[in-house]
């Protein structure tokens, strides 16, 4: 409330309404209420701080995630992963067979390893019947 005096006109009372300072609150649907905690090593935290500059950590990480597009594994990588898993399983079976029997069948082992190598390279085994 303020009082001012104007010559030859009398006194005037003025009132000011206090308003909250800062930005308007977001609507309830847009308020960020969920917290996610991430643990980093000192080196990771330092690297993050170097990249983010003056942007707050949470804002930087949220924007990096939201602007990165999808973090899902592309279909081609999923297929490659499945194929690699099969090959690794086959290699484990070969190793288990060698450990269990103690016998080494060189010709069979060479053929299995050749097929394994070709599958890793993505080449079909033309010699198989």
What would the pLDDT profile of 23-58 be if each residue is shown by its tens digit?
888 888 888 888 888 899 999 999 999 988 888 998
Q: What is the pLDDT of residue 25?
A: 85
Report the run of H or E that residue 13 belongs to, with start and end: strand 10-14
Q: Indicate the pTM of the whole model.
A: 0.36
Supply φ then ψ for residue 81, to 5 degrees. -65, -45
Residue 41: C-alpha distances to residues 7, 38, 66 (Å): 71, 10, 23
pLDDT of res. 45: 92
- For 51-69, b where at least 16 C-beta lie within 10 A, e where not — what string? ebeeeeeeebeeeeeeeee
Please provide the average confidence, as pLDDT, over all residues in the chain.
76
User: For 76, phi and psi rounded to 5 degrees?
Assistant: -65, -40
The residue that leads in pLDDT, 10 or 122, is 122
Q: What is the pLDDT of residue 15?
A: 64
């Amino acid at each position: 409330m303020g009082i001012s005096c104007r010559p030859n006109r009398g006194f005037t009372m003025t009132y000011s309404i206090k308003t909250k300072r800062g930005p308007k609150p977001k609507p309830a649907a847009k308020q960020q209420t969920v917290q996610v905690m991430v643990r980093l090593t000192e080196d990771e935290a330092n690297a993050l701080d170097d990249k983010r500059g003056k942007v707050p950590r949470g804002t930087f990480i949220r924007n990096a995630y939201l602007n990165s597009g999808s973090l899902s594994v592309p279909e081609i990588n999923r297929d490659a992963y499945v194929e690699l898993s099969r090959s690794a399983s086959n290699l484990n079976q070969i190793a288990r067979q060698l450990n269990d029997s103690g016998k080494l069948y060189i010709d069979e082992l060479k053929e299995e390893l050749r097929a394994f190598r070709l599958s890793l390279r993505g080449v079909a085994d033309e010699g198989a019947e």
